[in-house]
Structure 1
Amino acid sequence: MVTHETSGSARERRRTQGLRSAAQWLRREADLTRRMIADNLLVSLLPTVLAAVAAGSRHGLPVGERLTGIGKAALLAVLLVYINDCANQVHSGAEDAHNKPYRPIPAGLATASGLARRYTVVAALSLLTGWAFGVWQWVLIFAIAVFLAYRWGSPRHYLWWKPAFNLTGALAPPAAGWQILAPLDTTAWTWIGFVAVYFTLALIYEDVRDMEGDSAVGRRTPALLFGPAFVRNWFAAFMVVLPVAFYLVPARMSGAGDWRGVVCAAVIGLLSWTCAARALLRRGRSAERLTFQLFFLVWGLTLATAPLLITRA
């Protein structure tokens, strides 16, 4: 005969087991997500969030409204980098086994079909979030670019489609971040456009880091076609010229051609010249990965000066 006490104990055990299973699933997904987006989180998060900070500063919004907008921008940035990296890694298991064995598929944490299901769910969630935040058009543009790039972007034609994809990825998220708090105006497009185009042109340095895996899958990258020395010199040139270009374009066009623009350009130059020196002098995957992360920091720092230099509307 089953007593109420025995029945209650069974329910308690089932509830405990359910909670443990849920906790294990959350830990597993958190670890998978960390491995999947770790390389690109900084370059996605910083531009989107800093564009929101700049928009709030330009329009003198209340602190509470600014913080809410920044939080929305951060959430959206994480969702966008998730769908980008998920779509990428669905098709790059063989390459990641060479270049990034810690990622979910080579680490045995997920299959390509499993990542494809996650991509579908999070892409839908991203579009809903973009609609709720009033920036659905930028999320849609980004999602279409991701789908086209990783569905039909062939390794043989990488040299042509990847820069266009990178430019879209550099424009859409910060545009969304700004628009969450304020309309996009000429000042916004000056900053977002300059940073997106300039850093996209320098972004080919990533191909030096990934040459082994790119060669294994037949990808025609600038580093493989023109040689790593050409790409390093190209990247270093852009990093050396950056503080001057920054002062002449976004700083002066924002009315900060005074000491504020000079100081910000000098700080940016300190880091960008360090990037240039490392690209020319340091070799090896770990050194190049650190240089690439420093490049992302320069990217973010350039946008971070916007709230300091942009005058109020």
Structure 2
Amino acid sequence: MSFVVESIAHELDVFLGVTWRDWSTTLIPGSLFVLSALRELPFTEAIRNYLLLVLWLSLFLYFFNLSNQITGVEEDKINKPDRPIPSGNITMAGAQLRWFIAFSAFVGSAAFEPTLLPAIICWVATTASMVLTPGGGNWFWKNTVSMTTGTWALFQASWRIVAPMTLKMETYIYAVAVWTGLNMQIQDLRDIKGDRAIGRSTLPVVVGDRASRIIMAFVFMPMAVYVLHISGILQLAPVTLGILHIALVYRVLHMGGPRYDHKTYMFFTYIFCAVIALAGNEDIALDPVWRLIDRVVGQGDTKVCA
């Protein structure tokens, strides 16, 4: 019994070591996205669907991260030495076995829910292009293209596990996917040293640290905000999203070192969670800042009228 418990504990430790950095871009936003849809279901069905969602998102993340970390050990030795492979917590053979199991379970999930097949194919193809082709080392393909398709796959499947797809939700998913791809260059600001060492052509490596920040802040981010605007997501919380994006621009432009840049990337993932939560829950999406302003202005008008 103790052996079984220790084995389970070890596998959980490995899973956490492989995935924890990316929960704020997969497990958490995927859960936030479907809250309103879950509220419409009977309690037992909602619990069942949510557990299936968490399982699918875990496989989605585990498969991708193992693929990335198996092929990126040298980079991780520099940028993220605490990960299971470079730290020695698991062997390369052990990582490959876990990858095979995760991949098989992920692809096999289509047998239980055929509507997930397009998202599964999309994510497998995206992952393969990132770890098996030169595109994985190019800033445009790695971030703008792959993270757009990956985000689409993530939320397409998340919604379909819980509820039928609608045209409006499809539009929101496409918008969030493009918004993500435009902003994902931010993640490379923290890893310049490791990326340069292995010859990866990220935007900061190609054009320089400062120039890349200017491009992100004044080209990609305005484009991303415009995508939210034309899709209708920005209108759900214009003041809050506006403030968050301005804060993100400030952090991107401030050259505070790798640790600061990592916190900036994490701040971006929190905005990512907020954006997808608004998209999936527009019936309860209320802009807290806008409501406060409206309340203050309303009180002021009342006093004047009095």
Runs of 4 or more, structure 1, over 6 Å off, are: none
In structure 1, what is the equivalent of residue 263 of structure 2? 290
Return closer, same or farther for 1:308/1:141 CA change in 2, 3 Å cut-off.
closer
Kept in 1, the 8 Å contact 2:139–2:185? The answer is: no
The more displaced of 129-138 and 88-97 is 129-138
Amino acid in the other structure paired with 2:174? G
**How far off its partner does 1:77 sit?**
1.0
Return closer, same or farther for 1:37/1:138 CA change in 2, 3 Å cut-off.
same
**How far off its partner does 1:24 sit?**
2.2
TM-score when normalising by structure 2: 0.82
Specify which of 231, 235, 242 is matched with residue 249 of structure 1.
231
The more displaced of 73-82 and 232-241 is 232-241
**How far off its partner does 1:156 sit?**
5.5
Tell me, in whole angstroms, the C-alpha distance in 2 between the residues paired with 1:208 and 1:68.
40
Kept in 2, the 8 Å contact 1:130–1:136? The answer is: yes
Tell me, in whole angstroms, the C-alpha distance in 1 between the residues paired with 2:133 and 2:269.
27
Q: Deviations over 1:50-91 (max 9, x none)?
A: 33335456xx44444334323322221111110110000001
Amino acid in the other structure paired with 2:257? G
Specify which of 208, 211, 236 is matched with residue 189 of structure 2.
208
| Aligned-residue identity in percent | 23
In structure 2, what is the equivalent of residue 23 of structure 1? 5
Specify which of 168, 180, 198 is matched with residue 217 of structure 1.
198
The more displaced of 46-55 and 36-45 is 46-55
1:50 paired with 2:23, answer: no
Amino acid in the other structure paired with 2:77? A
In structure 2, what is the equivalent of residue 33 of structure 1? 15
TM-score when normalising by structure 1: 0.81
Tell me, in whole angstroms, the C-alpha distance in 1 between the residues paired with 2:84 and 2:166.
40
1:69 paired with 2:49, answer: yes
SS at match of 1:106: helix
**How far off its partner does 1:126 sit?**
1.3
In structure 1, what is the equivalent of residue 108 of structure 2? 128
In structure 1, what is the equivalent of residue 119 of structure 2? 138
In structure 2, what is the equivalent of residue 6 of structure 1? none
SS at match of 1:40: helix
Amino acid in the other structure paired with 2:276? L
- Which sections of structure 2, spanning at least 5 residues, go unmatched? 285-306
Tell me, in whole angstroms, the C-alpha distance in 2 between the residues paired with 1:244 and 1:137.
27
In structure 1, what is the equivalent of residue 210 of structure 2? 229
RMSD of Structure 2 on Structure 1 (CA)? 2.5
SS at match of 2:155: helix
In structure 2, what is the equivalent of residue 278 of structure 1? 251
Give matches, 1:57-136, under 5 Å.
60-134=40-114, 135-136=116-117
**How far off its partner does 1:206 sit?**
1.1
**How far off its partner does 1:107 sit?**
0.7
1:176 paired with 2:175, answer: no
The more displaced of 119-128 and 65-74 is 65-74
**How far off its partner does 1:109 sit?**
1.1
Q: Deviations over 1:145-166 (max 9, x none)?
A: 2133212346665543553222
Return closer, same or farther for 1:120/1:158 CA change in 2, 3 Å cut-off.
farther
SS at match of 2:84: coil
**How far off its partner does 1:217 sit?**
0.9
Amino acid in the other structure paired with 1:25? S
SS at match of 1:109: coil
- Which sections of structure 1, spanning at least 5 residues, go unmatched? 1-18
Tell me, in whole angstroms, the C-alpha distance in 1 between the residues paired with 2:256 and 2:101.
39
Return closer, same or farther for 1:228/1:183 CA change in 2, 3 Å cut-off.
same
Amino acid in the other structure paired with 1:169? G
Tell me, in whole angstroms, the C-alpha distance in 2 between the residues paired with 1:270 and 1:162.
24
Return closer, same or farther for 1:65/1:23 CA change in 2, 3 Å cut-off.
closer
Q: Matched residue pairs, number? A: 282
**How far off its partner does 1:282 sit?**
4.6
**How far off its partner does 1:97 sit?**
0.8
Specify which of 265, 281, 290 is matched with residue 238 of structure 2.
265
Return closer, same or farther for 1:83/1:53 CA change in 2, 3 Å cut-off.
same
Kept in 1, the 8 Å contact 2:129–2:135? The answer is: no
Amino acid in the other structure paired with 1:49? S
SS at match of 2:86: coil
**How far off its partner does 1:232 sit?**
1.9
Return closer, same or farther for 1:235/1:70 CA change in 2, 3 Å cut-off.
farther
